[in-house]
Amino acid sequence: MRITALLLVTALLAACGADGPPEAPTMNTTIGIGTGGAFGVTQITQGRFTISLGAGL
């Protein structure tokens, strides 16, 4: 039972990034005007994960 709990705790710590320094999220925003009109894109990055939101106006 102790070995199972130790393995579970180790896996959880490795999965949440507790084995290294914390990474601050970054955000980039682009606004432009093209032949199809205005557009905007916002991108948020945290480690390996990225979320992008964009819309043509």
Q: Find how far residue 1's CA is from the centre of its chain.
A: 35
More confident residue, 15 or 57: 15
pLDDT score, position 19? 56
Compute the distance between CA of residue 44 and CA of residue 27 in angstroms, rounded to an integer: 4
pLDDT score, position 46? 83
Compute the distance between CA of residue 23 and CA of residue 18 in angstroms, rounded to an integer: 11
pTM comes to: 0.49
pLDDT score, position 18? 54
pLDDT score, position 10? 76
Q: What does the pLDDT look like over 2-41, one tens digit per residue?
A: 888 888 777 766 666 555 677 788 999 988 888 888 888 8
Task: Count CB-CB contacts under 10 A for residue 18.
Answer: 9
